[in-house]
Amino acid sequence: MLLPFLRKSGIRVGSGLASALLLGGCLYSFQAGAGFPDHVRTVAVVPFDNETNRPELTDEVFQALLQDFPRSQGLQPAGEDVADAIVEGVIRRYDLSTPSYRPGAAGENPQVLQRQVNLVVEVRILNRAPDGGEWEILWESTSVSVQGAYLEETESEDVGRALAIELLVQRVIDGAQSNW
């Protein structure tokens, strides 16, 4: 109904829409880290507790989160005793699975094509009250589950684990941002 009127009036629909979008867009701005409360300027990433039989996971998860999380939120890294917010968690599960294989002929073993690292982590992001009082939970997930696949023939478990940790860090970043 509006389109025929616009055509008769000689108004170009494309330019009108573009103008409306540009004018409407003037009110929107993005600021990194804007979702945390105003007083939060620093964050501590602490090594996660580890309930698996893979002790190296503690340091690998810690280093990956420390490298990417503060920057992604527009915060400065800080020690746990002075930080405005804390990222903490527990590595609950680490295991390998075989999502892709070719069944073997009678009497032969199947051919594994792809393996997968499965990682399950509990994560919390806490915020210290501005007066230095109690901590409050800003975001938490009791079961962040990620998988890192790797090719059995050409890659190692380390490749799958690195991919799973990278995905974990992204999920924590996404979770933190989804709360705001």
pLDDT tens, residue by residue, 77-123: 999 999 999 999 999 999 999 888 778 778 888 778 899 999 999 99
Asked if residue 57 and residue 129 are part of one domain, the reply reads: yes
Please report the pLDDT score of residue 177 as a whole number: 86
pLDDT at 104: 76
Instruction: Assess whether 96 and 135 both reside in one domain.
Output: yes
Instruction: Answer yes or no: do 106 and 163 share one domain.
Output: yes
Same domain, 1 and 48: no
Residues 21 and 41 in one domain: no
Q: Do 5 and 83 have their domain in common?
A: no
pTM (two decimals): 0.75
Q: How far apart are CA 144 and CA 1, in angstroms?
A: 49
Neighbour count for residue 89 (Cβ, 10 Å) = 25
Check if the beta carbon of residue 138 is closer than 8 Å to that of residue 179.
Answer: yes
Determine the pLDDT at residue 179: 61
Q: What does the block give as tokens for 37? A: 């409360």
**Are residues 81 and 40 part of one domain?**
yes
Structural domain of 15 = 1-30
DSSP assigned state of 110: P
Which residue intervals of the chain are DSSP H helices? Answer: 2-9, 13-25, 56-73, 157-178
Write the CB contacts of 170 (distance below 8 Å, at least 6 apart in sequence): none
Task: Report pLDDT digits (tens) over 55-83.
Answer: 999 999 999 999 999 999 999 999 999 99
Tell me, what's the pLDDT at 11? 46
Structure tokens at 6: 């616009």
| Total tally of structural domains belonging to the chain | 2
- Do 149 and 70 fall within a single domain? yes
Is 40 within 8 Å of 75 (Cβ atoms)? yes
Dihedral of alpha carbons 35, 171, 122, 75, sign: negative
- Whether residue 39 is found in the same domain as residue 25: no
Check whether 10 has a pLDDT greater than 60.
no
